Amino acid sequence: MPVAELVREFKANPVFWEQFEVSEKLARRHDPAVLTQLEPYMKDDDRHVRGNAAFVFAAGGDDRGFEVIAKILKDRSDRPEGRGMPGGNWSVSAQIASDRYYAAHLFGDLKDWRAVPILIPLLHDPEVHSIVPWSLGQIGDKAAVAPLFATLRDVDPDMRVLAIYALETLKAKEALPQLRALVHDEERIHFDGLGTVADAAKKAAAELQALP
């Protein structure tokens, strides 16, 4: 698809995750002219649109994109209704949480190691903590391993399992002792078929043990 048509699709698409798919295609083109056309969207009132435009900049090596995503993560200012609000129960606080969650997700999509020190403290932030282990795993920086070890002791079984998944993605064989300590943890999680922490720990331990 021509770049000009992709840009038109980015501007016209009202569904943020579909718009992001266009952002990924634009990022792969490495066309400087795209940045000029998307620059106004870096200040869009809708933080999901703003983040999608920033992703194109950041993926192309323009630090303005990285900075915009980082600012969305810190942004708790008032705002109009935007995207990313499933269920239709809109409120400013819920929109802020949705926008911040999406920014943390974008850092995982971006796979930029500079996001790791920004994301690690957010393992304790209830608005976004459930996406942070995934993003850390996608980035692939081993600096995340120790904080994820600590998350294996989180009181929330969901967070323990999300940390297990991230450690498996990071191929952190050094996590094997901690994972084996969880093979009798029968607390159930609220996603992925409602399995247990033990199920996830056993699977991850087997995968890591099999690594060369």
Provide the 3-class DSSP secondary structure of residue 187: coil
Q: What is the 3-state secondary structure (H, E, C) of 108-142?
A: HHHCCHHHHHHHHHHHHCCCCCCCHHHHHHHHCCH
Q: Tokens in use for 12?
A: 């016209």
Give, rounded to a whole angstrom, the gap between the first and last alpha carbons of the chain: 41
At residue 188, what are phi and psi to the nearest 5 degrees?
A: -90, 150
H helices of 30-91, in order, are: 32-38, 47-59, 63-74
Nearest to 207 by CA among 163, 162, 176: 176
Dihedral sign from CA coordinates of 54, 127, 120, 183: negative
Closest to 34 (Cα-Cα) out of 45, 43, 46, 23:
23
pLDDT tens digits, residue range 136-163?
999 999 999 999 999 999 999 999 999 9
Judged against a pLDDT cut of 90, whether residue 172 lies above it is answered with: yes
pLDDT at 18: 97
* Domains, the chain, ordered by start: 1-110 (no CATH), 114-212 (1.25.10.10)
pLDDT of residue 166: 98
**CA dist 16 to 12, 27, 163, Å?**
11, 16, 27
**Using one digit for the tens of pLDDT, what is the confidence trace for 71-97?**
999 999 999 988 887 667 889 999 999
Section 38-51 average pLDDT: 97
| Residue reference for tokens 């009202």 | 14
What phi-psi label fits residue 80: left (phi over 0), alpha (psi between -120 and 50 degrees) or beta? Answer: beta
